[in-house]
């Protein structure tokens, strides 16, 4: 789905090419229970909800502007299988149904706590994490090592053509690391 399909503000959004790979790595089922942690504008939550018509997506976001944008995007796409949860993970996850798929787009500096929480709730959970900062990649790498987990790490960098006069020049976007932690 094109990025332009979403209502956006000043909140970060997972871009379409990265979103496509991340959703693919989640290996969604029609009845999946998905957490989208650090949901931003809700782009991942919306696309996941369109796939899992019998399941449900919980879009967790700590910023009020993000919660409003997610709600607007859910309404725009007429989705009834998305619940917006305003709050900071992992605290905001308490009381939600047990997930079988978790996407982490932002952790607010609490990555290890979030991963511990969702893995305790469901040791068979499929987790996909998007990382832009090297410091966060280090945290995730250390977590995998400490917990003796195997994780697939993919680096994706997208470049899009920009028109300059009669030429098209490629404009690179920031690289994103996509980390997948499959059930043990």
Work out the average pLDDT over 44-72.
Answer: 97
State mean pLDDT over 97-101.
98
What pLDDT, on a 0 to 100 scale, did the predictor assign at position 18?
96
Q: What is the pLDDT of residue 64?
A: 96
Beta-carbon neighbour count of residue 130 at 10 Å? 22
**Whole-angstrom distance, CA of residue 46 vs CA of residue 73:** 7
Could you tell me if 83 and 57 are in contact, meaning their C-beta atoms sit under 8 angstroms apart? yes
**Phi, then psi, of 124 in degrees rounded to 5:** -100, 15
Nearest to 56 by CA among 74, 40, 69: 74
How far is residue 22's CA from residue 129's CA, in Å, rounded to a whole number?
8
Joined tokens for residue 179: 């980390």
Pair of tokens at residue 148 = 């003796």
Contact status, residue 42 vs residue 69, Cβ threshold 8 Å: yes
pLDDT tens track for 124-182? 999 999 999 999 999 999 999 999 999 999 999 999 999 999 999 999 989 999 999 99
Rounded CA gap, 86 and 101, in Å?
19
Residues contacting residue 133 through CB under 8 Å, at least 6 positions apart: none
Average pLDDT taken over every residue of the chain: 95
Q: Rounded CA gap, 68 and 64, in Å?
A: 6
How many residues does the structure list for the chain? 184
Band of residue 46 on the pLDDT scale cut at 50, 70, 90: very high
Q: For the chain, list the domains and their CATH numbers.
A: 3-181 (3.40.50.150)
Residue, of 183 and 163, whose pLDDT is higher: 163
Integer Cα distance of 77 and 122 in angstroms:
30
Residue 89 banded pLDDT, cuts 50, 70, 90: very high
């Amino acid at each position: 789905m094109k990025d332009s399909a979403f209502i956006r503000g000043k909140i970060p959004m997972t871009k379409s090419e990265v979103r496509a790979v991340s959703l693919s790595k989640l290996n969604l089922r029609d009845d999946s229970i998905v957490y989208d942690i650090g949901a931003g504008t809700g782009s991942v939550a919306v696309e996941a909800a369109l796939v899992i018509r019998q399941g449900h997506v919980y879009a967790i976001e700590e910023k009020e502007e993000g919660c409003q944008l997610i709600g607007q995007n859910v309404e725009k796409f007429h989705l009834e299988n998305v619940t917006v949860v305003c709050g900071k993970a992992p605290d905001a996850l308490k009381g939600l149904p047990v997930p079988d798929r978790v996407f982490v787009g932002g952790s607010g500096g609490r990555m290890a706590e979030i991963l511990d929480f969702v893995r305790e709730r469901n040791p068979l959970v499929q987790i996909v994490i998007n990382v832009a900062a090297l410091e966060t990649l280090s945290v995730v790498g250390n977590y995998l090592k400490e917990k003796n987990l195997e994780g697939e790490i993919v680096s994706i960098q997208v470049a899009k053509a920009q028109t300059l006069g009669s030429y098209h020049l490629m404009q690179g976007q920031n690289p994103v690391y996509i980390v997948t932690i499959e059930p043990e």
